[in-house]
Amino acid sequence: MLAPGAVPRNDPPMSIWDHMRKAARPPAPQSIDRLPDGALSIRWDDAQTTRVEPRALRLGCPCAVCVDEMTGARLLDPERVPQDVGIKVLEPVGNYAVRIVFSDAHETGLFDWTLLRKLSS
Ligand SMILES: [Zn+2]
């Protein structure tokens, strides 16, 4: 019940809570499927579905071989990554990341959900 003189509020629903929720926890995949062409299709718990190419993952690999841990400089030379690099093994790590073994034998990359989301579209 409204107090006397109060103006009924007709504001649209607040979106602050949505922002807070996003900040508190990044979206996590509900499923990751390998498509026939080798790409991954990821269904996220915020109802988005994204697609990511194996080469984009390979180039975005955050491991110590690919990125200098001290400077953050990327050590990986894109020229040395085959255009048709594929994913051989996709292995969940806890509930925060996947480990990917690529067809160029690179196997030290851990991709957490935030990175996976960043690399996919
Ligand atoms: Zn790497």
Ligand 1 centre distance from Cα of residue 63 (Å): 4
Of residues 28 and 23, the one with the higher pLDDT is 28
Ligand 1 centre distance from Cα of residue 16 (Å): 37
Instruction: For residue range 92-121, list pLDDT tens digits in order.
Output: 999 999 999 999 999 999 999 999 999 998
Ligand 1 centre distance from Cα of residue 59 (Å): 8
Ligand 1 centre distance from Cα of residue 104 (Å): 11
Ligand 1 centre distance from Cα of residue 107 (Å): 7
Question: How does the average pLDDT of the chain come out, rounded?
Answer: 88
In the chain, the domains with their CATH numbers are: 16-119 (3.30.2020.30)
Ligand 1 centre distance from Cα of residue 29 (Å): 21
Please provide the DSSP assignment of the chain as one string.
-PPTTPPPP-PPPP-HHHHHHHHHS---EEEEEE-TTS-EEEEETTS-EEEE-HHHHHHT--STTTB-TTT--B---GGGS-TT--EEEEEEETTTEEEEEETTS---EEEEHHHHHHH--
pTM of the model: 0.78
pLDDT at 24: 67
Ligand 1 centre distance from Cα of residue 70 (Å): 15
Ligand 1 centre distance from Cα of residue 24 (Å): 27
Please tell me the distance from the alpha carbon of residue 63 to that of residue 8, in angstroms, as a whole number. Answer: 55
